[in-house]
Amino acid sequence: MEFLAEYGSFLLKVVTLVVAVLILVGGIVSIAARNKKSSDGELVIKKVNEELEDNKDQLEYAVSSEGELKALEKQRKKEDKEKEKKEKKLAKTAPDPAVARKKRVYVIDFDGDIRASDVELMRKEITAILTLAEKNDEVVVRLESGGGMVHSYGFGASQLKRIRDRGIHLTVCVDMVAASGGYMMACLADRIVAAPFAIIGSIGVVAQLPNFSKVLKKYDVDYELFTAGEYKRTVTMFGENTDKAKEKFQADLEETHDLFKHHVKHHRPRVDIEAVATGDIWYGVQAIDHKLIDEVGTSDDYLVAACDNADVYTVRYEFKKTLQEKLGFAVQVGFERAVTRVLTSLQNQMQSKG
């Protein structure tokens, strides 16, 4: 009996502790949910000019002798004085701050998976930039994508169009790949800069799905599909696809391809659309001959050169981590991301000449 009493007392303490923990976690989740309503993320902004200067100073300090460092410090002070004089002179001749301010270049990154998931971040970054950017400014998008879902990349292209509609110069830099949906977005730019071996193009539409109807028949499994509307469902993974259904599905693909071609031709009228809209891809050094891009080069060189005449800022929106992610319980999110990565990897393998 004494053992049972001690066991009961111990069990009661455990239950009490578990209940207390659940109440505490519930309270934290409630607070986190309230906080998320007010703000689900924040902008992270860095000035590229300052980062370049800091890197240069660190390198100079590491490789220069004591005498060289003294000479550099003397030269730097002289340059600072001359810069200060120029700024004062500019302020006198242009008292209006809006006239005096330098051009600004805003840099955002788009790393596209098969679902174009980065569009959610990009739309917030573009919205923020458009509250401040002026027509003399520029937006640079470092874009990497092998394409994916048509509607997702169409929405991504619509976000970039917001920049063009405001009369702000848009440049897209491609270091590795802008194919299919990626090029659908890139072609909206006033200027496209691509690395020599970046993959460009794939102006086409593809759809593929397995069909298990023979397997189901083999094991005497019936598959019933009920629809209202002749074309509510054309081809299916489990039923037997008729010739009429296949023809309709192919017609839908052709219609999407025509829309894609019209989109590219509208934004890059110099392109011979019938010659490039074959689904083929080209390296950057070849793409310039087809007028798919405007310049061969890397995003690094483009931004370093921009720092000579403008203030260059990277703009990135970061979502705050939820309580579940902080506690390590985001299994579903992790699984979804893993699946997306696999599908994106398969998609990117299709966009290769190797």
Query: Which residues are known to be catalytic?
Result: 180, 232
7: CB partners within 8 A, 6+ apart: none
Q: CB within 8 A of 301, min separation 6: which ones?
A: none
| Strands 199-201 vs 169-174: parallel, antiparallel or unpaired | unpaired
What the block records as the tokens of 294 is 């405007």
Q: Which two tokens stand for residue 163?
A: 């920049």
Strands 177-179 and 191-194: unpaired
105 and 136 Cβ atoms separated by less than 8 Å = no
Looking from the CA of 258 toward its CB, the CA atoms found within 13 Å total 6
For residue 180, list its beta bridge partners: none
C-alpha 245/C-alpha 156 separation (Å) is 30
Q: Cβ–Cβ contacts within 10 Å for residue 23, how many?
A: 10
Of 195, 199, 197, 202, which Cα lies nearest the Cα of 295? Answer: 195
**Residues whose CB is less than 8 angstroms from the CB of residue 294 and which lie 6 or more positions away in sequence, other chains included:** 191, 192, 193, 288
CB 196, CB 174: distance < 8 Å: no
Element (H, E) at 174: strand 169-174
Return the H-helix or E-strand segment holding 336.
helix 331-350
